[in-house]
Amino acid sequence: MPASLPAELDLGWPPLPYQAPVPPVVTEDGVSHFDGVTYATTPGYRPRLLDAHVPARDEPVPVVIWIHGGGWLEGDRRYPPPTIPVDLLHGSILRAGIALVTIDYRHSLEAPFPAQLHDVKAAIRYVRRFADTFGIDPERIGVWGESAGGHLAALAGLTRPEGPAGEALEGTVGVREGNTAVSAVVDWYGVSELTSLLSHPLPPAPPGTEFPNPFTALLGGTPEQQHELARAASPLTYMEGSTPPPFLLVHGTADGLVPYSQSEALAEALTDAGGEVTLEPVEDADHIFLGAPDVTPIVTGSVAFLARHLGA
């Protein structure tokens, strides 16, 4: 007969909505790495994980949360787009005295919008909840995303519990209470208005492969519902009455997947709302900055923007 389990053993059922940070690994450069931390769980879905990389400092440091792209259909917190070397992105942030948190979130075929935004909000709440453990300043949090992640970063910067749709966009996953405001947003070639993109032609898939339409996959619902769903998922919808944090928008002028006009429209709306916004075109570059002669200034310029607004 198998031995019975000790009565005091925690069986972990039902699962907790999040786990406390794991002990860090400290590398020779003094950076503390908290890898594979479960910041949110939902029954029936994979746990959402984050990695936190915190530079050695005597006082709490500001932090930026990196949100990966991939058309809301794929992507991984550990890898930026193939045009951006990991060492360049991570190293530039850490050398500026800013902690880096990279997050996974539910993909659109796991759950449609607003599940992705709920996960981003949960990550912000988690970072604030465990700020002392990480060694970061909970009042100096920025978000930085590319493509689908840029769209989510913009939404994180613009939506508030007291705004349009209010609590419905905050979600209740992970740490369920806490402030989700951020102090700065970097949005690389993200979508700002989805309705016009429902009919936007997409690059052809390689022969023999099938790839869902990323916009309709994100929205879910029936074709009759998609116009209203697209409006609900668009950052421009949440401009009225908002007090936006500083935004940096960087976008290739030859982007064939997300037109450059998407960032132009967001920049105009942010300006009209009295926000501070910088729109930087990358001339003749396609999506993920393909065709840009050197991505290093793009990365270092984005880090400099964050350092300035997060007080690094």
287 noted as active-site residue: yes
| Catalytically annotated residue among 53, 68, 107, 287 | 287
Cα separation of 294 and 290, whole Å?
10
Start-to-end CA distance of the chain, whole Å, equals 60
**What is the β-pairing status of strands 32-40 and 48-54?**
antiparallel
Angle of the 86-95 helix axis to the 296-310 helix axis, nearest 10: 30
255 noted as active-site residue: yes
Cα separation of 56 and 206, whole Å?
45
CA dist 295 → 38, 147, 278, 305, 307 (Å): 32, 16, 18, 16, 19
147 noted as active-site residue: yes
Torsion over CA: 215, 219, 225, 228 (sign): negative
Cα separation of 182 and 105, whole Å?
18
Cα separation of 44 and 46, whole Å?
7
| Catalytically annotated residue among 104, 119, 137, 255 | 255
| Catalytically annotated residue among 92, 108, 147, 192 | 147
- Residues annotated as catalytic (active site), given as ranges: 147, 255, 287
